[in-house]
Copies of this chain bind each other. A is one copy, B any other.
Amino acid sequence: MAKQHQASPEARQGATIYSVAEHAGVSIATVSRVLQGVTVVSEPTRQKVLAAVEELGYVALGAARSLAVRHHEAHGLVLPELSGPYYAELLMGFEARAAELAQSVVLVLTDSRTDLAAAVRQLATRVDAIAVFGSAPISADVVRLLRAKKPVVVIAGEPQDGVEAVSAENLESARELAGHLLDHGKRRALFVGDPDSGPDIHNRYAGYVAAHRDRGLDAAEPVRVALREAEGTAFAQRMLAGAYEADALMCANDELALSIMATLQDAGRDVPGDVAVVGWDDVMTARYVRPGLTTVRQPVHELGALAADRLHELVSGEPPRSRAQTLPTQLVVRSSCGCRAAT
């Protein structure tokens, strides 16, 4: 019996449990046993097997193992995209925790998919559970459909029946941030960003409204723009043209705040003198610009880890939680709000 375990050009497939068994002079059942480490195996044979495994560099084929044990030891993660630090950080937290739990992570980015529903269904056939980002353009139907087959957790979205959710706090922090602006004496603060772009933004706007209400003030309607750099620039230009009257801008995220601030400054406006600008996320750029951007830091890494955790427990049979789990955020005060902070 010629051994073809040498890395011959075409026999790339590697050793199987059979070749290991033969090599060690035992049955495949024994090989499986020492590898699973569940049943007891006599030390001598155990060593023989281990030696064979080592020599042939054997690793069980994922598909075969999955088929036999009826699960994949993998988690799926569905995110819109990865530009900006938010999603990347979330992914890092998710991946790190998944790694600790010995789960592979297979990633799906919705922005690059034409047939998202198909992609998600596909994903469901290769993982044990799936975490999907709340604002991802996935119809609630798909989520529900998914949930029928695999455990699902929504990140930064609303919990639905049977689908639990994890997120960072928004409303109270937004209320605090908006309050901070108002306490600087600003009386025409505008909320820039579309509350309909997701539960997160929705709640930030709600906090903005609440802060006004707290002080017996009227909150303005939100300026509905997408959370992208280009939209911020466009908005700022409209503002420079006199389309908006405001002495403070509470932006839905830093990307928006940063582009708006830069455009305003380039046109000679003083920030925060003429108009204060604050954001949300605390991206790297926020601490490099002058004035430093006042914003809110979210525990994004932890959020990702939490999602991976919950997925694992759900797979382990734990029942889904009905209430969303919310992680606390932190107000980061720099100078763009009107404060004279260090930076």
Contacts and interface: CB of A to CB of B under 8 A. Distances in A.
A107 B61 CA distance: 18
B126 A74 contact: yes
A148 B59 CA distance: 13
A95 B91 CA distance: 14
Interface stretch (A25-33, A34-42, A284-292): A284-292
| Count of chain copies | 2
Contacts of A229: 284
A226 interface: no
Interface stretch (A79-87, A177-185, A201-209, A326-334): A79-87
Nearest to A123: B104
A209 B204 CA distance: 52
Contacts of A273: none
A109 B92 contact: yes
A72 B122 CA distance: 12
A3 interface: no
Nearest to A301: B83
Interface in A59-117: 59-67, 70, 72, 74, 81-85, 87-89, 91-92, 95-96, 99, 104-109, 112-113
A82 B86 CA distance: 11
A7 interface: yes
Contacts of A122: 59, 62, 104
A31 to B, nearest CB: 16
Contact of A124 (B59, B65, B145, B258): B59
A209 B81 CA distance: 38
A299 interface: no
B113 A99 contact: yes
Instruction: Give the most central of A92, A122, A126: most B CB within 10 Å.
Output: A126
Nearest first, the 9 A-B pairs at minimum CB distance are: A7-B148, A63-B66, A96-B112, A62-B126, A62-B125, A82-B88, A285-B285, A88-B88, A63-B67
14 contacts: A13-B149, A14-B149, A57-B145, A62-B63, A62-B72, A62-B125, A65-B125, A91-B107, A104-B122, A104-B123, A104-B126, A105-B107, A107-B107, A288-B288
